[in-house]
Structure 1
Amino acid sequence: MAKLQIVVLVLLSLHVASSSKLVCHMTNWAQYRPDAGKFTPENIDPFLCTHIIYNLATITSVNQVDTTEWNDEALYAQLNNLKNSNPALKTLLSVGGTVKGVSPFIAMVAKPETRAVFIKSAIGFLRTHHFDGLNVDWEYPGHNGSPLEDKTRFTLLLAELASAFEKEAREERKTRLMLSVNAAGVPATVNTAYEVDKISAYLDFINVMTYDYHGHWEKVTGHNSPLYRSAADHADSELSIDSALSRWLDLGAPAEKLLLGFPTYGRTNRLTTGANGLGAPSNGPAEAGPYTRTEGFWAYYEICDFINTAEVSWISEQEVPYATYGSAWVGYDNKRSFSSKVQMLNNRNLGGAHVWTLDLDDFSGSFCSDGAHPLVNHLRNSMGFAPKPTTTPRPTTTRDPIADFCRGRPDGLYANAADKTTYFQCFKGNTYLQRCQSGLIYWDSCKCCNWP
């Protein structure tokens, strides 16, 4: 057998097999979580995602973009310094939220003059802090106190932003700023909030928020991010990823601009009877997690602790898991459900995925015994991205059957029949041997490492 050689991967840009974007959100409030839950841009692997969106900036009463935290500008610098390590990384600033419970977009979009002030401010702010684009997070035009006319005004705002970004890039001889939105994942909301065919023309990508479909606000259990509807799901039958994507596509959104949302958190319920399956009676949330400290909401790393003692079940109709222990119930995502969602993403030829959020995955690897960022790394590999820059041993001669394994195969993950504790990652015909965590074996059904 030919001698193993060390191959150093120096990747100046990230390429994918079928989707071009893996967009990851981070939040500036994650810095206030205690101990191992604290997250800042210093915790980010610059090669994990293609784009990172910083959440959240706001709009002042005089229609100017502004910070929301005392140290935002320092955190902006930390984030954008990651581009020194990975020049291909793109960063965007998300603007939105509420001011005294009301979206600041409502007043800003009302007149052409106020929109113009905002747009000029946005361009200056993004350039000053070295962002590559703007993410508009308005939840939602025509809802929550926003008049129905804002559906049209939202289109005007995006058209004017896109035009101004083009003009500024041309006049200043700079790369054009990108423009994206966080958009509704509920079909009924999509209908009333957006002129989908029109706004799609102005956007580089659309982050469809395919999560928060169910939670403790309901009287029965329901999954946070189901792939399909279930006969046991008594609520709105359109509350699923499949229904949301169908609505966006039916209304004229180009598939290549739609990004499917992948949550790294779960929603909890408090069970009230002996029943504990989907649609079981519940009343309010389980106890808040020790790090996120938010009712009805657990980070994936908090869920890892919970499932060590909980009963874990799989909802076959919706291709997602849930877990119960005592009266606590949580619907969440794992590697298996991420794999199912990647399959839908590929089947619909979508432009990629967006993750809410980096700081809710086990970013340090301290909780789940599965390495840092187990969910996002699995998503990245499943989508067919190149291996991250590393020094990796692999056979290099065509006579070696392992080295030849990926010749002619599509990019992706494959079982190694000779050793279940390892698996192959194929990229552009090259074979990379990856190893599972101690005690785990590779399961091709979920494209992940799990217990035997």
Structure 2
Amino acid sequence: MAVIRGGYWRSSEANNFPPESIQTGYFTHLFYATVAIDEIDARTYQIRLSNIDQTWIGTFTPKILQKKADVKCILSIGEDTVAGRTTLSNMISTPDGRKSFIIDSISKAREHGYHGLDLYWKYPATANEFDMPNLWLLFKEWNNSLKEEHNRTGNPKLSLSTIVYFAPKFFPADDKKAYPFKSIMDNVDFVNLVCYDYYGSQDVEVTAEHALLYDQHDKKSTHYGISSWIDDAGVPEGKLVMGLPLYGRRWELVDQNEHGIGAPATGVGPMDYSDILKFNRGHHADVHVVNDKTVSTYLYAGQDWIGYDSKSSIKGKVQYAKDHALGGYFFWALGMDKEYKLPQQGSFTYTYINNALLIDIN
């Protein structure tokens, strides 16, 4: 498997950022994000296409391949809402539900020319204690169906991936749920880790980096999550793909003279990287790169404080992925960095075969 340089494109942003706007040269894999699951009844689950999806799901792959013929286009399925997570939980809870979904997902991928399928269920946080055992079954049955379809039709096998929480076990510590590690190792081609959103305005009343690589005081960090997937869950490095955000988080300082990481503040919300650049230019903000302890960046101007990834911290994270022989990285989400300042920092030169590192020509 070649190293992944991925990006998620959101169909909800199609009017402002259509697929032809993507600079495909920076990517090996592009994900159509996302289509939802429709719970028709207790046994029947199929992909639900919104009006937007009906317009774009069939044109995404042709438009991408016109620009770069070797990009893999992946259909990402799921919905990060309470209702969406409940539907996913219901779907995986019965053999008929899983079978109905699997058959329809393969059919939709083939109909619209995709090269793989991706389960988008970042936070399996329903109260159902059987979610993780049922997810184990879904991955197994899904992979078996993909193999069977490949053998029966002679078409190239569709890849199977999933976007998951940054660590294999959930926080807080009293949450006993953990991902089905063995099924992921056996059935999923690669795992996209959500290595961001560690902190937000709902979490703490101080400034915080939401995607820091290292944290000397807390386990909510990319290094901790990746190490846990490798050391505790036993998932090979080559299957792990590091998530990189194309947005930051904004805070309002209590005292503009106290402006470091951890300064008292009120959270405001997310901010696209393109808007961060515009803010910086308009306010002549003070920018601080903290590559020695966290591998992150923040800026402040007056009472405004924004924690984010700059070109420097993205470069540091990509180097970390190379140094630890990871399967690659992906960006969430395309269109948030319209000038492609951050994807320009990514590069890989080694190749995996059967999840084993083959060669590094750097």
Tell me if both proteins adopt one fold, taking TM over 0.5 as the criterion: yes
Q: Is the 8 A contact 2:241 2:330 kept in 1?
A: yes
Q: Distance in 2 between matches of 1:302 and 1:318?
A: 23
Q: 2:138 aligns with which of 154, 157, 163?
A: 157
Residues 1:248 and 2:234 are matched in the alignment: no
Q: Distance in 2 between matches of 1:383 and 1:223?
A: 26
Q: Distance in 2 between matches of 1:112 and 1:211?
A: 33
Shift of 1:115: 0.6
Residues 1:350 and 2:326 are matched in the alignment: yes
5 Å-filtered alignment, 1:35-434, equals: 38-62=16-40, 63-68=45-50, 70-81=51-62, 82-98=64-80, 101-103=83-85, 104-141=87-124, 143=125, 145-186=126-167, 188-189=169-170, 192-217=177-202, 218-231=204-217, 237-250=218-231, 251-274=233-256, 275-285=258-268, 296-308=269-281, 309-315=284-290, 316-362=292-338, 365=339, 373-379=340-346, 382-384=347-349
Q: Is the 8 A contact 2:37 2:84 kept in 1?
A: no
SS in 2 for 1:26: strand
Q: Which runs of 4+ in 1 moved over 6 A?
A: none
Shift of 1:102: 4.4
Choose 1 or 2 for highest CA Rg: 1
The one-letter code matched in structure 1 to 2:36 is: T
Aligned to 1:396: none
Q: What does the per-residue CA deviation read over 1:50-71, in whole Å, with 9 as the maximum and x for residues that have no partner? A: 0100111011012101223x13
Shift of 1:121: 0.8
Shift of 1:411: 5.4
Question: Which one is further off, 255-264 or 145-154?
Answer: 145-154
SS in 1 for 2:34: strand
Q: What does the per-residue CA deviation read over 1:116-167, in whole Å, with 9 as the maximum and x for residues that have no partner? A: 11111111111111111111011333x2x24121111001001110000000
Q: Distance in 2 between matches of 1:357 and 1:280?
A: 28
Q: Distance in 2 between matches of 1:147 and 1:266?
A: 32
Q: CA 1:223–1:98 in structure 2 vs 1: closer, same or farther (change >3 Å)? A: closer
TM-score under structure 2 length normalisation: 0.88
Question: Which one is further off, 191-200 or 208-217?
Answer: 191-200
Q: CA 1:85–1:283 in structure 2 vs 1: closer, same or farther (change >3 Å)? A: closer
In the alignment of these two chains, the number of paired residues is: 338
**Runs of 5+ unmatched residues, structure 2:** 351-359
Q: Distance in 2 between matches of 1:51 and 1:178?
A: 11
The one-letter code matched in structure 1 to 2:239 is: K
**Runs of 5+ unmatched residues, structure 1:** 1-14, 33-37, 232-236, 286-295, 366-372, 386-409, 413-452
Q: Is the 8 A contact 1:73 1:129 kept in 2?
A: no
TM-score under structure 1 length normalisation: 0.71
